[in-house]
Amino acid sequence: MDVKIESSWKEVLQPEFEKEDFKQLTEFVRKEYTTKKIFPPGSLIFNAFDLCPYNKVKVVIIGQDPYHGPGQANGLCFSVNDGVDFPPSLVNIYKEIENEYAKQMPKNGDLSSWAKQGVLLLNAILTVQAHMPCSHQGKGWETFTDAVIRILAEKKEHLVFLLWGSYAQQKGLYIDTNKHLVLKSPHPSPLSAYRGFIGNRHFQLANQYLKEHGMSEIEW
């Protein structure tokens, strides 16, 4: 199957694209886009991969599914398009960075600059129906993104995985902590941010680990 995705990812993921499950998922997604309002725009479904090639990945952040409001989702977990109000989880992510680095909160919520530095901003589910969170749950995306995480964890060394909340932690259950740095905390949503996300120092710890292993730090 010919999937429009960045070339280094296409090479490592081609066996996944040939699986019957993925073909069925593709048929479902195509039908959804032609009959309903689906986010993100079709051209941005694989934006996380397109902006962060396989051979550049240093950090992996795992989200659940795209934002479901108009103009929000841009294919990167926790990220919104420039000019869109910050969702509460992103506000708390920025607050934690403010605390760690004593820097002002950015004026826009587009995290593309992180992706271009080697942060894979991966949602477990890559599409969603407007105003219906988790509407594409159980359709096959989770199997695909599990494979992405497994390939990264098995084929690479010294990655940083940021697992915020029980959903992401379940997704990263089988990552070898001898090969990679796995950082866990509560989710940045308002319901749980002050139970351990705020103050987790994940952004500094990630950079410290990258530096220790001869990689450039992320400008958060």
Q: What residues are labeled active site?
A: 65
DSSP count for the chain of H helices, then E strands: 8, 6
Phi, psi of 163 (to 5 degrees): -115, 100
Judged by DSSP in three states, 215 sits in: coil
Q: Give the CA count within 13 Å in the CB-facing half-sphere of 98.
A: 11
CA distance 205 to 203: 6
Rounded to whole angstroms, the maximal C-alpha distance in the chain is: 50
CA distance 81 to 186: 25
Indicate if the alpha-carbon torsion angle 115, 120, 122, 126 is positive or negative. positive
